[in-house]
Chains A and B, each alone.
Chain A
């Protein structure tokens, strides 16, 4: 086995040319997922995180940059040449009801990759399916059911079983828990954590759920408008977010504890996410940044490495990691404290 990272994106671009102009959905994304590493890719709707995920598994064609899986450059590989390599990387989608074929039984769904890659067929495939179902917490008799006979959590377990049936080096999971209820979400996160520990695959975990990514990921990359604005080990990012956007994002997610939540201040961003057709000049976040200065409006900040290895693209963060506090900006924060009506 090679020692190359499971996934290596370098300057990944995905531009969609249309009549109204070019949408820069992913615009120079550089990201590595090491073997056995879970990297969280977070951002809001329209940040381009799903586009990056789709390009990483070549469900979408990058318009620039390179995609390497297990050290192999797959950026421009033909579909045919790519096919045997497909067993090395798999995608799990948000909505298991629409990503599972309703006419196939669970057993057929899980066995499909095994057959396509010529790994097992017939009795061997059936045995392997039973084993996989057991690993994701389902019973062997589930193999004869159809997806509609199962709950949402069970369906997501099937997607995971199918993705892992061929022992991929890379799993790209795009919002795998977002459609699930809290208690079911916990069991799917437990499952992903267990499998990841046992199998040691690299995982790109794409989500808007900050709590889930904090739980599962070793390292987190934050995207805004097609670009990564900050990247750091999970605990460091949550303890000390450097980029004003990361600070706003973390402050906006309410904490499930009323006493704590009442004392938190949230940074309310002004304005709206700009159109990816015409990203703002300079720093893309300057139109909504409570701290923006003139330099931010004209000069594009590079994603640079700080002392200690974290990466951030903000003019206001010093090389030693000293970062301004967006919550301290005047008139932009609203305390969440409220008048008691009880």
Chain B
């Protein structure tokens, strides 16, 4: 297999105040290959956004970060703002949920796209504008030659998100991190944005980390999925495998709580209890208090993020499907 373009190892992020320490991310690892879409899913507060902010070097100085983030040959963990300034927007870029707050309202969109190009590629004003028109075309904005001179408020929410994507991919970054890129958009607009991300992966080979809570979006575009719970990774698998044979009880709970077309009008399965506080890092499974399979082992020792057992129940050699669970569901169980 080729070298990953982005490799995150044992990344942990904590925030300290005088009175307490919050462990927002606790030993997260993943690899991302060229042209691949990795979905990071989980509920509010699971650490999926903080993980990506740490990768991008966008966390405030109060954040305490440990572990390794390798972008190609470079180690990013511990890099200062100056070092990040050289790679953000060029080698790795990010788009956010709300495009209006990310765009500058008093500059034309052409100028905002051009800014990245002039900074990283040293293009002239004229060249940058011409390239901005091409980029607007790439992200499916009609009449790009006119739109390039418009201001953000003249565009709809979907069009603004397309502009954000154009800015993000202007320098052809190896990695694009998309944090809930379609959450604020209507479904018919979302469909268009997903098409754009899809075409970027196909045409430019951009590797995408897609952070979302929407399992429909995951099913639509992801190749692999990383499920997080309370700051920790709980399961990772190729997308079809994760939906067909989820091994971690939390993943199973999450998938069964999701409404699908034709869901019978019976009671929906719920996950009992609440997400734990992130103040402590117990040497235990943090899902145990809500888990029907939990026993003494689960509350006494933290499970490793290991390959799931194969069809014979033997310790799995298939490292593409991992789960952090002492009692993962067997393949036979997932079939029922």
* Contact surface of A with B, Cβ cutoff 8 Å: 44-45, 151-152, 181-187, 189-190, 193, 208, 210-212, 214-215, 238, 248-249, 252-261, 266, 268-269, 272-273, 334, 336, 338-339, 341-342
Contacts and interface: CB of A to CB of B under 8 A. Distances in A.
Given A211-B258, A212-B259, A238-B261, 18 more contacts: A44-B188, A182-B254, A183-B257, A185-B257, A189-B259, A208-B187, A252-B191, A253-B216, A254-B217, A257-B219, A259-B244, A266-B191, A268-B192, A272-B158, A338-B221, A341-B223, A342-B223, A342-B238
A268 B191 contact: yes
Contacts of A268: 188, 191-192, 195
B43 A181 contact: yes
A248 to B, nearest CB: 6
Contacts of A259: 240, 243-244
Contacts of A266: 191
B261 A255 contact: yes
Given A182-B213, A182-B254, A214-B259, A252 B270 contact: no
B269 interface: yes
Nearest to B184: A45
B44 interface: yes
Interface in B211-226: 213-223
A342 to B, nearest CB: 6
Interface residues on B, range: 35 or more
Interface in B23-50: 35-36, 43-44
B20 interface: no
Contact of A258 (B194, B240, B262, B274): B240
B268 A190 contact: yes
Given A182-B258, A341-B201, A342-B223, A334 B195 contact: yes
B43 A214 contact: no
A317 to B, nearest CB: 20
Interface of B: 35-36, 43-44, 156-159, 186-192, 194-195, 198, 201-202, 213-223, 238-240, 243-244, 253-255, 257-263, 265, 267-271, 274
A258 B43 contact: no
24 contacts: A44-B189, A181-B213, A182-B43, A182-B213, A182-B215, A182-B257, A186-B268, A190-B267, A210-B187, A211-B260, A215-B259, A252-B187, A255-B219, A256-B215, A256-B219, A256-B260, A258-B220, A258-B239, A259-B243, A261-B216, A273-B156, A338-B221, A341-B35, A342-B238
Contacts of A152: 44
A272 B214 CA distance: 24
Contacts of B238: 342
A183 B254 contact: yes
Given A183-B271, A334-B195, A341-B223, A252 B188 contact: yes
Contacts of A238: 261-262
A341 B257 contact: no
